Amino acid sequence: MTAATVTERVASHRERAIACTVSETLVLAQRGLTSVLRTPRTVVFVIAQPVLFLLLFTAVLSETVVVPGVQRYADQLVPAIVILAVSGAALGPGVTLLADLDGGLLDRLRSSPIARGALVSGLAVAAVGVTILALGALLAAGFATGFRFRAGPWATVGFLALAVGCGVAWIWVSLALALATRSQEAVRQSLQLGSFVLLFGSGAFVPVATLPGWFQPLARANPVTPATEALLALSAGGPTARPVTVALAWIVGTCLVCATFTFRRYQRLE
């Protein structure tokens, strides 16, 4: 390739910046997704963890937990495990980003004429694919335990969109944590422990009103509470406007803060 054509390519590249960034993101997303799908262990973990916990919680809690107003505990449980599924799937991008940085991929990409941020956004897009995979497995298991969409087709679409939205928020948290800590183990530990604390410290398993009094303000301030309330309303029925709005606000806010932080840090990486 002569010098002229390289210059030309670089020039044309700049001109079509947004289109190029998008296509480069998609290339790296495909690469990320392929590497996940070729690691059977990761696929098994991402799919098996939510399915296993749904089945175990159903077995243990469906006959013992008495929640006023909820007839089938499966209805209450599936939204809770959705949070577990999407946070489990979000472990991947943060850990992979650090592995890529350690492995020298960033240096390789810097010498290629592609958008710098494409590595990060590619990983985020790939992780959305993994999230959808985990949600599909979870919902299939949910149907086996008696969970049904009872609020109509539009609410069902809303449920799926909101579930993926929660996943996107977790993915950006994972990427931000990766660049904040620069340690794969720290990302794993803090994400797992954090999702676990948020999930159990919320109104996901039982309605907030049945929690002990001192616990209720904490549970109400917890973003998982509006998220699971919204998912419950979109599947089992009930007023949706308020929980959906609050959940969306949390999702948008989390994505904005974490994505800004991630890209800032990423641009300054040596």
Residues that bind other proteins in the complex, under the rule CB under 8 A = 41, 44-45, 48, 52-53, 56-57, 59-67, 185-186, 189, 193, 196-197, 200-201, 205-206, 210-212, 215
CB of 38 to other proteins, least distance (A): 15
Residue with Cβ nearer other proteins (40 or 153): 40
Residue with Cβ nearer other proteins (69 or 152): 69
Residue with Cβ nearer other proteins (206 or 251): 206
CB of 214 to other proteins, least distance (A): 9
CB of 49 to other proteins, least distance (A): 8
| Spatial separation of the C-alpha atoms in residues 247 and 242, rounded to whole Å | 9
Could you tell me if 163 and 69 are in contact, meaning their C-beta atoms sit under 8 angstroms apart? no
CB of 146 to other proteins, least distance (A): 12
Could you tell me if 93 and 175 are in contact, meaning their C-beta atoms sit under 8 angstroms apart? yes
Buried/exposed code over 98-127 (b: 16+ C-beta within 10 A; e: otherwise): bebbeeebbeebeeeebbebbbbbbbbbbb
Residue with Cβ nearer other proteins (73 or 149): 73
Residue with Cβ nearer other proteins (189 or 267): 189
Could you tell me if 196 and 80 are in contact, meaning their C-beta atoms sit under 8 angstroms apart? no
CB of 224 to other proteins, least distance (A): 12
Residue with Cβ nearer other proteins (11 or 66): 66
| Spatial separation of the C-alpha atoms in residues 109 and 101, rounded to whole Å | 11
Residue written as token pair 């929640």: 67
CB of 225 to other proteins, least distance (A): 12
Range 33-41, long-range pairs (CB < 8 A, 24+ positions):
33/126, 33/129, 33/130, 35/96, 36/92, 36/96, 36/126, 36/129, 36/130
